[in-house]
Amino acid sequence: MTETLPIVLVPGLICSPRIYAPLVPALWRHGPVMIANHIRDDSMGAIARRILSEAPPRFALAGHSMGGYIAFEIMRQAPERVAKLALINTQARPDAPEAGARRRTMITRAREGEYHAIVDGLAVNFVHPSRREDARLRRLVRDMADDVGVDGFVKQQTAMIARPDSRPTLTAIRCPTLVLTSDTDDMIPNSLSTEMADEIAGSWLVVLDNCGHLPQLEQPEETAQALVEWLRG
């Protein structure tokens, strides 16, 4: 019997397991798939510890956006347990002061009943400009945000405000690493993916065309293909 490698997928901000649904059939053929819950704690350290407590002893790890920040924390806490790493539309840098201020404003607004308005505003920049009028994608983003809820959203934002700078740790990553990004990511510019790929020895960079911040939903076949090649490599 061919040995399989469990796969742990970590969603991004206001994203739930639905973000990975289009990819699971392709990934599942290569090993059992776990989608991490990242809405129960309000610090990167605590989120990573809980995921590690629930994850298999050794696994392939893929993190999207905020999930990438969590993946870096997992690598700090237990690098020996991560056999492969995929960083999807994410970055290694911490929040700049103005980004932290925006997050605190969103926390206040969410607590005051404006959660859906915040989500709708974020959704505009989540996708490629050609998909901004796609009602199905807007509905899916709203549904995922409802899965996360206001309390989960506040915890996520709190964790991201205080996250550490992961750039100093990039050169310590030794496992096979995929850095996947999009040509038009209005949330995290793909130049920051190039920055990561340049520092992680032996990593490979994939840039998807005609795609925004949500490649799993916008370009699911291409995203699945890149991840399958990563798992096979």
Q: If we measure between CA atoms, which residue out of 159, 178, 212 comes closest to residue 50?
A: 159
Contact predicate 7/35, CB 8 Å = no
What pLDDT is attached to residue 3?
67
Q: Residue-wise over 77-109: b if at least 16 C-beta within 10 A, else e? A: ebeebbebbbbbbbbbbbbeeeeeeebeebbee
Query: Splitting the chain (233 residues) into consecutive groups of 10 residues, what average pLDDT does each group show?
Result: 83 98 97 98 98 98 98 98 98 96 98 97 95 95 98 98 97 97 96 97 97 98 98 91
Q: What is the pTM of this model?
A: 0.97
Domain count, the chain: 1
For CA atoms 83, 76, 224, 205, the dihedral sign is negative
Residue with tokens 């392939």: 60
Which three-class secondary structure state does DSSP give residue 134? coil
What pLDDT is attached to residue 233?
83
Whichever domain contains 77, its CATH number is 3.40.50.1820
What pLDDT is attached to residue 223?
98
Type and span of the H or E element at 119: helix 115-126
What pLDDT is attached to residue 64?
98
Instruction: Pull the structure tokens for residue 44.
Output: 């990167």
Structural domain of 144: 1-233
Type and span of the H or E element at 118: helix 115-126
For CA atoms 9, 12, 18, 23, the dihedral sign is negative
Identity at 146, one-letter amino acid code: D
